[in-house]
Structure 1
Amino acid sequence: MIGTQELVMIFGVVVLLFGASKLPELARSMGSSVGEFKKAQKESELNLREFEKSLKDPMAPKTKVQETAAKLGLDIRGKTDDQLLDEIQRSAEKPKEVSEP
């Protein structure tokens, strides 16, 4: 851990290198850099969580065909879009049973 003497020495070197008039500008730029870094870090963590969630739930519909098949109650596991389209078409061609009151 950096002690008090080391911090004072680092601050003295910074003042000698940049001058007292440049210190506020330097501090602002460092603050904005830290803010951008934290923002990028949060965004990458969010993307990682979404990726992990997609790995845990592989049955989530991804294409419009898969979404439509899932809404119709068809099993979409291990089927291609063409197979799902055929099943959707077959289910649309079936006459619907009408129940009388």
Structure 2
Amino acid sequence: SLALEIARGPVTVNAICPGFLDTPMTDHSVEVIASRTGRSLSEARAALEAMSPQNRLIRPAEVTSCALWLCAPGSEGMNGKAIAIDGGET
């Protein structure tokens, strides 16, 4: 993997893997789910939230905080990881 190829250098390679985010894009997905399934918007949203053990969507700031930490001093040892920010879904 790329992380191993460049491991001796100053750059690390990681992947941030969020669950469903509380964003306008997810709002659109909720609308599509509702229109295709006959569910109400709140039922469709609840179905997405129920996929997370925390029963909620991920806040964009949670993903941002992870990305900022990966760029900050002290994170140099984190390399080659897939970081799930999904409320415990995976």
- The question of a shared fold, defined as TM-score above 0.5 by the shorter chain, is answered with no
| TM-score interval (norm. to shorter) | under 0.3
Name the TM-score, length of structure 2 as normaliser. 0.26
Name the TM-score, length of structure 1 as normaliser. 0.24
Q: Which protein has the bigger strand share?
A: 2
Q: Which protein has the bigger helix share?
A: 1
Name the structure, 1 or 2, with higher relative contact order (CA <8 Å, separation 6+): 2
